[in-house]
Amino acid sequence: MPYYIYKVFPFHRLEKVAVLDAFPQASAQAKTLRKDPACRRLQGEVIFAEDELGAETLLTEVREPAPRLDDD
């Protein structure tokens, strides 16, 4: 399965940047994207998915916040 790199804008707008076969290259490209001053107000995400639709579904699904230690 490939690694997809996306720019994630407010309101779940996505822009595909690249599709790579290996995680080290995908991670390096995402880190470079995050350091770009023009992309400071958005997220760069790497997602491992079966296809482009699966990647976009995973990036836009609403997830429960992680439990905090002080929530006992």
> pLDDT for 13-51, tens place per residue?
888 989 999 999 999 988 888 888 877 666 778 888 999
Ranges of each domain in the chain: 3-60
The encoded tokens of residue 56 equal 């976009």
- Which pLDDT value is given to residue 66? 79
Handedness of CA 22, 28, 34, 36 (dihedral sign): negative
In this structure, what are the phi and psi dihedrals at residue 71, rounded to the nearest 5 degrees?
A: -90, 10
Tell me the whole-structure pTM to 2 decimals: 0.75
Phi, psi of 7, deg, nearest 5: -90, 130
Any residues with CB less than 8 A from the CB of 21 and at least 6 apart, and which?
2, 3
